[in-house]
């Protein structure tokens, strides 16, 4: 394999660039847990970089060892984990995502301009855990395969069929829309009545006004829930209800 790669190595520099600007089709994965989960869900690793002091294996097209200094600079976290990989981004489209959702009996999960990558990643992780087959991210949403979102998802995004779209692509489909106030309680709704389950940004809400509103009951004086927390409640309520149909 040769001598360990240092900070000046071309592949090390590429990894550092990917923390700032994602290349089309390339997904940066950091840490053993994230990489193992991504591989378990079918991710193809093009490059695996491992600190020379660590023992870690995963199937990859190319594997390099890193000097201690290189292993520090390739990480984005406060405590670098010494293992980084570059994977292929799985590509899909709206029609495939809709088909996957319908086959599983789920409404298609839609994120409407959810801008925080931590929230996007957390929602993807929850969706995978709940058994959601597919998610569509509308324009204005954070990149689900950006480094922060992938870390927040702990690699689980690779379990989902992920597509990008605009409301114009989904305008003909009916949907539930999560709102802070005035909607139907999730445990009272007919979970199979609509094609979509939509969550919007905490600042601006949903950009479509003909969705059937769903509201999670909260204690008096509480304005609303974080969108990732709301997604977790809704998705596991839908999972519970779908299991009893």
Cα–Cα distance measured from residue 69 to residue 73, given in angstroms and rounded to the nearest whole number: 7
- Percent of the chain predicted with pLDDT > 90: 78
Distance CA 154, CA 37 (A): 7
pLDDT of residue 82: 87
Q: Cα separation of 208 and 196, whole Å? A: 12
Q: Is the dihedral of CA 111, 114, 117, 122 positive or negative?
A: negative
196-240 tens-digit pLDDT: 999 998 888 899 999 999 999 999 888 788 999 999 999 999 999
Q: What are the tens digits of pLDDT across the range 94-130?
A: 999 999 999 999 999 999 999 999 999 999 999 999 9
Question: For residues 77 and 146, what is the distance between their CA atoms, to the nearest angstrom?
Answer: 14
Would you call 14 helix, strand, or coil by DSSP? helix
130 neighbors 238 (Cβ within 8 angstroms):
yes
| β-strand partners of 51 | 66
End-to-end CA distance of the chain: 55
CATH architecture of 10-88: 2-Layer Sandwich (3.30)
Alpha-helix residue ranges (DSSP H) falling in 21-60: 32-40
pLDDT of 64 reads 94
Distance separating alpha carbons of residues 182 and 196, to the nearest angstrom: 19
CATH 3.40.1280.10 intervals, the chain = 94-243
Rounded CA gap, 208 and 175, in Å? 10
CATH fold group of domain 94-243 = Alpha/beta knot (3.40.1280)
Strands (E), 61-107: 63-66, 83-88
- Range(s) of the chain covered by CATH 3.30.1330.30: 10-88
Phi, psi of 96 (to 5 degrees): -65, -40
Strands lying side by side in the sheet with 45-51: 26-30, 83-88, 45-51, 63-66
Question: Which letter does DSSP use for residue 154 in this model?
Answer: T
pTM assigned to the model: 0.93
Q: Are 108 and 193 in contact (CB under 8 A)?
A: no
Q: Tell me the pLDDT of the chain averaged across its residues.
A: 93
CA distance 193 to 17: 45
């Amino acid at each position: 394999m040769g001598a360990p790669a240092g900070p000046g190595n071309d592949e090390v520099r590429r990894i550092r660039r990917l923390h700032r600007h994602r290349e089309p089709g390339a997904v940066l994965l950091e840490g053993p847990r994230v990489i193992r989960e991504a591989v378990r869900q079918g991710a193809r690793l093009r490059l695996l970089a491992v600190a020379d002091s660590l023992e870690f294996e995963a199937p990859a097209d190319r594997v390099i060892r890193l000097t201690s200094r290189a292993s520090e600079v390739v990480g984005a976290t406060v405590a670098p984990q010494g293992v980084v990989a570059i994977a292929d981004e799985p590509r899909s489209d709206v029609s495939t995502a809709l088909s996957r959702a319908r086959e599983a009996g789920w409404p298609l999960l839609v994120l409407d301009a959810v801008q925080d990558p931590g929230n996007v990643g957390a929602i993807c992780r929850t969706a995978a855990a709940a058994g959601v087959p597919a998610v569509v991210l509308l324009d204005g949403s954070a990149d689900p395969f950006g480094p922060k979102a992938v870390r927040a998802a702990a690699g689980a995004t690779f379990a989902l069929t992920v597509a990008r779209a605009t409301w114009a692509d989904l305008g003909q489909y009916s949907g539930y829309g999560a709102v802070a106030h005035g909607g139907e309680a999730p445990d009272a709704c007919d979970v199979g009545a609509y094609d979509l389950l939509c969550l919007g940004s905490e600042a601006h809400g949903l950009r479509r006004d003909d969705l059937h509103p769903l509201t999670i009951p909260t204690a008096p004086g509480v304005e609303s829930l974080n969108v990732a927390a709301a997604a977790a409640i809704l998705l596991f309520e839908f999972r519970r209800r779908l299991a009893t149909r």
